[in-house]
Structure 1
Amino acid sequence: MKRWHLRILAIVLAATALGLIAYKARVLGFPLSPEEEVASWVVEARLGFDPDQEHVGIKAELAIPAQPPGFMVLDENFVSRGYGVQTEMRGDNRVALWSIRRASGPQALYYRATIARHARAPVDEAVPALETTPDYGELEGAAVEAILDEVRSKSADIATFSSLLVQKLANPANDENVQLLLPQPASREARTRTAIHVLAGAHIPARTVWGIRLAEGVSDPRPEPWLEVNNGERWIAINPADASHGYPPDFLIWWHGDTPMFQADNARHVELRLSTSRKFEPALDLVNRQTALTGSPVMAYALSNLPVHVQNVYRTLLLVPIGILLIVLLRNVIGIRTFGTFMPVLISLAFRETDLASGVLLFTVIVTAGLGVRFYLEHLKLLLVPRLAVVVIVVIILMLLVSLLAYRLDFDVGLSVALFPMVIMAMTIERISIVWEEHGPGDAITQAVGSLVVAVACYLVMFNERVEYFVFVFPEALLLVLAVALMLGRYTGYRLSELLRFRALAGKGGSTP
């Protein structure tokens, strides 16, 4: 197979992995580290009132957020004792409806929602038909026409036209026409209504948008009116106070239009109180909830959808390729010699159930004791398979003795020795004894120490909290690991250990004797 074929395959695998990781991180918002936290907001609306009379039927309505731009409603609850609750859409607004046949005494209805920031794609809205010119009176019509002529001469499009108009309404002192149209003192709501009224004379659709600021520590935030104008393609938000475009990042749109936010039939002393509070939660949990609500196809194949016990299996299993790649680097590039190819990875998995220091100690004790038994068996002249069977049985007995001794000494870590892979331990003991006999104790000890060092390195890399998190959340990273392993499969250069081994020759400069 030609060399370019391997390179193209590795590039495709790496590009696929990096593309999927970038999409999940940048578009879906998956955090890259487990420590990341994001803020969400709990918004509560309390509608309180008293029935007009005892045991009277009540119907109450409250506008609630639908799909606020820049935010997502993650969860919502309706708390009302004895009331029936339903929601319905009315144009651009979403309304909660409470009803009860008989009510007596003070009543309180609650709506609670969990809101989080979300880069929601803009929803295409139908462009409203241009309104006909309102029936202005003679004096009012003249004032409106004068204002429109002045603003039209200084503007270039609907957006600048609307901004200049709002600026004039925000500073009525120097314009008699504005003073005629705008009552004094003018509230924010009055300026918004007047702007909509004047824009209708220019056949520009406009509407009022109500929302609240999500601020920590603010009790009973009041809804603020905002102006939106339509340029034939989209709605443009304009601040009635300073004519700036766009909503603040903490502004939550609640409802549209001039309809009241709430009302109740057969009730008096109707009062609405709003409250907000901020809370922090792991970014991954929040993203999982958001993507589940949006129906992302990526989440359909996410590991978090599996049963918890299966997730726990893959949390460990997905780390094995990381350890295997590390072994490839340490053996083929560094030149560390080990017993077996992937035995250190299995040993490092056992270290996870103990701790690193205790695991190394237990591994050393069992291998040393097993090696002594193996040398004794050599004098019995056993065949290969029976000898391996005896070594496995002896390893299990040694593990049992270590666990019993650890229990008697209140050394809890020693109880985890049973998790060591006994067959791998037996094969390691057999390999050490063979190398000892064929190449001497120095070579056997070197490979044994190398195996232990590689197992420790695998443990430190595989069970790093950030690595565990990243591989579980972004399992496509294994494609990148596969690409690196494929490229290392063609590596034929010097190992670092060989450079040290032949440094004396390098010092002679290649001269002939």
Structure 2
Amino acid sequence: MRAINLHLKILIFVLVSLGVAITAYQILYLGIPVSEAETDNLWNIDTKIEFQASSKDPVKIKMYIPPLNKEYVSLNESFISNNYGVSINRDDGNRRATWSARRASGNQTLYYRLVLTKRFSDDKPVAKGPIFRESIVVEGPEKIAADALLAPIRQHSADVETFITETIKRVNSNDDNAKTLLAGDASAEKKATVIELLLSIAHVPMERVHTVRLSNDSGTQSPELWLRSFNGKEWLYFNPDNGEIGLPGDRLIWWTGNGELLKVEGAKKARVSFSMSNSEMNAIRLAKLTDDNANTGFLEYSLYSLPLATQQAFQIILLIPIGVLVILVLRNLIGVQTLGTFTPVLISLAFRETQLGFGIVLFTIITTLGLSLRSYLEHLKLQMLPRLSVVLTFVVVLIAAISLFSHKLGLERGLSVALFPMVILTMTIERMSITWEERGGSHAMKVAIGTLFAASLAYLLMSVPELAYFIFTFPAVLMILVGFMLAMGRYRGYRLTELFRFKAFLKD
């Protein structure tokens, strides 16, 4: 007996540990949302290209579009144009879309629309980049000014990060040498050119990064210039205006390098404007949409990989252990008497369609009429099988009649009574009739009320959307439930109702 107890304790410990470990792995490592209410942001970006085409020459419009190979993934990408061909090419780590038309005239408008979101997976590819570059040749006063700026920069820096930060600060200062190199042009592009010159003399590679800000502002915006450099391990991003380090989380890299956003052939007065809006989507649904691109392997081996109709069936099936657990607690700990263990659970499943109040009324009507018929058949001294057959047929006819009259009265909820398990109703009527004969009417009514109470409580718990989502998303929780059920299997103490029943003995 001691060996059996030890075996049971080990089994319970293994099941509970596995359930907790698998669920914790899904939540903490895979990042699966605990609640269905958790949402992720979707960004809808509209890029509008306007230009004036000449009827004499073919038109070719080239524009950089986001590479989308790191932190963001595209859910939808569309190119909207009239009588234009569209192609996409890779260009030195960037993507470039080309619109072309043999003949076009007058004002023209093209659209590039993109719906994107953050990648669901936190896994990031290994960063690669240059760690050395050749110096840009500079002579005359510019060389003297550059050397004069680099001397204090080298003195006040310790690595690539601090060297670049110090360089940006010197270029943005009122230093005469910086003014000489800027030549009166304080634009971000000119500052980036001077910073690149100074860094090249020190053989530090630098690359221009053009970004757009993911914002809900209704107005349009223009690409914002940032600088980046590779330190051997990762890319470091810098604001050329103030030396700020680190690309903000709301910036989307549109393209890198010195190229212009838009290149036009056969047209003039071209301009580009960006506008965007934000929306939200359920995190799990979003993960399913991005599964092919985001390496979210958990979906491949989860219930979310099943067909939708099968998923809906399992969302109900996986709740049955919850209902069984409720019945187990009510019977073994509280002492509520029911007609078996699974009958209340199946009745609670029917309540999901009929709703609780209407379901109780229908169940009471069908059971009461069925008991009346069963009592009449008892006087005919029929055997059990023919008697059950007659009761089952009566239940079917009664369900059909209730559905018909409910429809005529405009109570569409009554149509769902057909979902009641007819065989279960038949067996319930039979068992209640036997209980009535053996234990009396009061005990039969007590068992019937206990069955309805247990079914109602199980229905209320199984109808909690958060619980249904959690069980379906983390089915390993059922291992923990099994462990609790095994522990309950050895409970030999008093039930709650028995404590009240034997209260008189405590006084003695």
Please, what TM-score do these two structures have when normalized by structure 1?
Answer: 0.91
2:485 — aligned with what?
A: 485
2:135 — aligned with what?
A: 133
Instruction: Give how far 1:208 is off.
Output: 0.8
Report Cα offsets for 1:41-76 as digits up to 9, x if no partner. 11111222223333x322221101112654322221
1:58 — aligned with what?
A: 59
RMSD (Å), alpha carbons: 2.3
Tell me which amino acid in the other structure corresponds to 2:44.
Answer: V
Instruction: Give how far 1:216 is off.
Output: 1.4
2:367 — aligned with what?
A: 367
2:440 — aligned with what?
A: 440
Equivalent-residue separation in structure 2 for 1:152 and 1:506 (angstroms): 89
2:193 — aligned with what?
A: 193
Instruction: Give how far 1:205 is off.
Output: 0.9
1:147 — aligned with what?
A: 149
1:35-46 aligned within 5 A: 35-46=37-48
1:423 — aligned with what?
A: 423
1:96-495 aligned within 5 A: 96-118=97-119, 120-170=122-172, 172-173=173-174, 175-495=175-495
Asked if 1 retains the 8 angstrom alpha-carbon contact of 2:50 and 2:271, the reply is yes
Instruction: Give how far 1:328 is off.
Output: 1.9
Structure 1 regions of 5+ residues with no counterpart? 509-513
Asked if 2 retains the 8 angstrom alpha-carbon contact of 1:71 and 1:120, the reply is no
Instruction: Give how far 1:326 is off.
Output: 1.9
Report Cα offsets for 1:246-288 as digits up to 9, x if no partner. 1112111111011111112122112112111122333332222
Instruction: Give how far 1:464 is off.
Output: 1.8
Aligned residues: 505
Asked if 2 retains the 8 angstrom alpha-carbon contact of 1:68 and 1:252, the reply is no
Instruction: Give how far 1:12 is off.
Output: 4.1
Equivalent-residue separation in structure 2 for 1:372 and 1:256 (angstroms): 83
Equivalent-residue separation in structure 2 for 1:283 and 1:26 (angstroms): 15
* Cα pair distance change 1:70/1:293, threshold 3 Å: closer
Equivalent-residue separation in structure 2 for 1:149 and 1:6 (angstroms): 76
Equivalent-residue separation in structure 2 for 1:101 and 1:340 (angstroms): 80
Asked if 2 retains the 8 angstrom alpha-carbon contact of 1:29 and 1:287, the reply is no
Tell me which amino acid in the other structure corresponds to 1:66.
Answer: P
* Cα pair distance change 1:19/1:91, threshold 3 Å: farther
Equivalent-residue separation in structure 2 for 1:397 and 1:445 (angstroms): 25
1:93 — aligned with what?
A: 94
1:2-81 aligned within 5 A: 2-26=4-28, 28-54=30-56, 56-67=57-68, 69-81=70-82
Instruction: Give how far 1:2 is off.
Output: 3.9
Tell me which amino acid in the other structure corresponds to 1:483.
Answer: G
Which is further off, 323-332 or 15-24?
Answer: 15-24
- Other structure's SS at 1:249 match: coil
Report Cα offsets for 1:229-261 as digits up to 9, x if no partner. 221222101122222211112111111011111
Tell me which amino acid in the other structure corresponds to 1:59.
Answer: K
Tell me which amino acid in the other structure corresponds to 1:331.
Answer: R
Which is further off, 256-265 or 284-293?
Answer: 284-293
Equivalent-residue separation in structure 2 for 1:154 and 1:423 (angstroms): 86
* Cα pair distance change 1:19/1:194, threshold 3 Å: farther
- Other structure's SS at 1:497 match: helix
* Cα pair distance change 1:84/1:45, threshold 3 Å: same
Instruction: Give how far 1:436 is off.
Output: 1.7
Instruction: Give how far 1:9 is off.
Output: 4.0
Asked if 1 retains the 8 angstrom alpha-carbon contact of 2:374 and 2:430, the reply is yes
Asked if 2 retains the 8 angstrom alpha-carbon contact of 1:30 and 1:287, the reply is no
Instruction: Give how far 1:465 is off.
Output: 1.9
Report Cα offsets for 1:269-323 as digits up to 9, x if no partner. 1211211112233333222222332242222234344333323222222222221
Tell me which amino acid in the other structure corresponds to 1:101.
Answer: R
Equivalent-residue separation in structure 1 for 2:289 and 2:62 (angstroms): 28
Which is further off, 21-30 or 228-237?
Answer: 21-30
Please, what TM-score do these two structures have when normalized by structure 2?
Answer: 0.92
Asked if 2 retains the 8 angstrom alpha-carbon contact of 1:69 and 1:120, the reply is no
Equivalent-residue separation in structure 2 for 1:193 and 1:9 (angstroms): 69
Which is further off, 365-374 or 408-417?
Answer: 408-417
Asked if 1 retains the 8 angstrom alpha-carbon contact of 2:287 and 2:296, the reply is no
* Cα pair distance change 1:407/1:220, threshold 3 Å: closer
* Cα pair distance change 1:329/1:105, threshold 3 Å: same
Asked if 1 retains the 8 angstrom alpha-carbon contact of 2:131 and 2:230, the reply is no
2:497 — aligned with what?
A: 497
* Cα pair distance change 1:152/1:490, threshold 3 Å: farther
Asked if 2 retains the 8 angstrom alpha-carbon contact of 1:207 and 1:229, the reply is yes
Asked if 1 retains the 8 angstrom alpha-carbon contact of 2:55 and 2:103, the reply is no
Equivalent-residue separation in structure 2 for 1:250 and 1:507 (angstroms): 72
Tell me which amino acid in the other structure corresponds to 2:169.
Answer: Q
- Other structure's SS at 2:103 match: strand
Equivalent-residue separation in structure 1 for 2:481 and 2:194 (angstroms): 63
- Other structure's SS at 2:297 match: coil
- Other structure's SS at 1:106 match: strand
Which is further off, 426-435 or 284-293?
Answer: 284-293
- Other structure's SS at 1:102 match: coil
Tell me which amino acid in the other structure corresponds to 2:317.
Answer: L
Instruction: Give how far 1:39 is off.
Output: 2.6
Asked if 1 retains the 8 angstrom alpha-carbon contact of 2:52 and 2:267, the reply is yes
* Cα pair distance change 1:390/1:71, threshold 3 Å: same
Tell me which amino acid in the other structure corresponds to 1:76.
Answer: E
Report Cα offsets for 1:351-374 as digits up to 9, x if no partner. 122121010011011111211222
Tell me which amino acid in the other structure corresponds to 1:62.
Answer: M
Instruction: Give how far 1:19 is off.
Output: 4.3
- Other structure's SS at 1:240 match: coil
Asked if 2 retains the 8 angstrom alpha-carbon contact of 1:73 and 1:115, the reply is yes
Asked if 2 retains the 8 angstrom alpha-carbon contact of 1:28 and 1:291, the reply is no
Which is further off, 413-422 or 351-360?
Answer: 413-422
- Other structure's SS at 1:103 match: coil
Which is further off, 17-26 or 69-78?
Answer: 17-26
- Other structure's SS at 1:78 match: strand
Instruction: Give how far 1:431 is off.
Output: 1.2
